[in-house]
Amino acid sequence: AQSVTQLDSQVPVFEEAPVELRCNYSSSVSVYLFWYVQYPNQGLQLLLKYLSGSTLVKGINGFEAEFNKSQTSFHLRKPSVHISDTAEYFCAVSDLAQGAQKLVFGQGTRLTINP
Amino acid sequence: ETGVTQSPTHLIKTRGQQVTLRCSSQSGHNTVSWYQQALGQGPQFIFQYYREEENGRGNFPPRFSGLQFPNYSSELNVNALELDDSALYLCASLIGPVGTEAFFGQGTRLTVV
């Protein structure tokens, strides 16, 4: 079964600073990888996804992630964060279980932006 | 805005009771998945329905059950509620059983007392 580890439970950064949220997944022949964002009292919104092709994936709100197969990592980055980026971020990997598209999520990283 | 709506947004139930949570998927999305997100945790897969049949299940007991209807709506039913069932329940709609993008609703916060 697939698994995901988000290496930091909390990441505090100052506004306009760069940020990296780390994610490692268990190895498999092929994987689909995702980053979701969850604002307080809301559901999950897809930031970006890796299915195949270029290992650098660009998403919404200025976020990007790099798929590294040898290190089984899919770290999320943003060059300059804003107060509005304060949220919980989840890395997820797809796992086809019994013909169903099951997403396996990490524990989440709480990103806090300080002015 | 994902086009996926859930009701109610909040709910308080007593241990031992039964609850039904509802989800309205995007039109044309014939697959719905349900997830449980405990406080401070990532979401966990409960089950998935495709064309009104359950086609995948996570590590949840049979007292968690579901229904999917032809009009793209679905239900999650939980019997014999336990305190540990307190969580945010999320539904997600997909295009097909192995669709690569899940569109999530805003969730239903269930509190069991």
| pLDDT one-digit tens code per residue, B43-76 | 999 999 988 999 889 999 999 999 999 888 999 9
Sign of the CA dihedral running A78, A82, A84, A87:
positive
The whole-number pLDDT of residue B27 equals 80
Which two three-digit tokens encode residue A31?
């994987």
Task: Say yes or no for a CB contact (<8 Å) between B41 and A42.
Answer: no
The whole-number pLDDT of residue B4 equals 93
Nearest-CA distance from A44 to chain B in Å? 6
CA A31 vs CA A3, A59, A95, B17, B38: distances in Å: 11, 18, 8, 40, 26
The whole-number pLDDT of residue A97 equals 66
Over residues B1-25, mean pLDDT: 94
* DSSP states along A62-102: G-EEEEETTTTEEEEEESS--GGG-EEEEEEEEEEETTEEE
Task: Say yes or no for a CB contact (<8 Å) between B55 and A100.
Answer: yes
Nearest-CA distance from A60 to chain B in Å? 14
Task: Say yes or no for a CB contact (<8 Å) between A43 and B45.
Answer: no
Nearest to B105 among A43, A97, A107 (CB): A43
Specify the DSSP class assigned to residue A60.
G
Nearest to B48 among A45, A100, A104 (CB): A100
HEC readout, B26-39: CCCCCEEEEEEECC
Tens-digit pLDDT profile for residues B79-110: 999 999 999 999 999 876 666 788 999 999 99
Query: Does B24 contact chain A (CB < 8 Å)?
Result: no
Task: Say yes or no for a CB contact (<8 Å) between A102 and B4.
Answer: no
Torsions phi, psi for B84 (to 5 deg): -70, -5
* DSSP states along B30-90: -EEEEEEE-TTS--EEEEEEETTEEEEE-S--TTEEEEE-TTSEEEEEE-S--GGG-EEEE
Q: At residue A27, does pLDDT exceed 70?
A: no
Tens-digit pLDDT profile for residues A35-56: 999 998 888 999 999 988 889 9
Residue B29 — pLDDT band, cuts 50, 70, 90?
Answer: confident
From chain A, the residues in CB contact with B100 under 8 A are 32, 49, 51, 94, 101
From chain B, the residues in CB contact with A107 under 8 A are 40-42
Task: Say yes or no for a CB contact (<8 Å) between B57 and A98.
Answer: yes
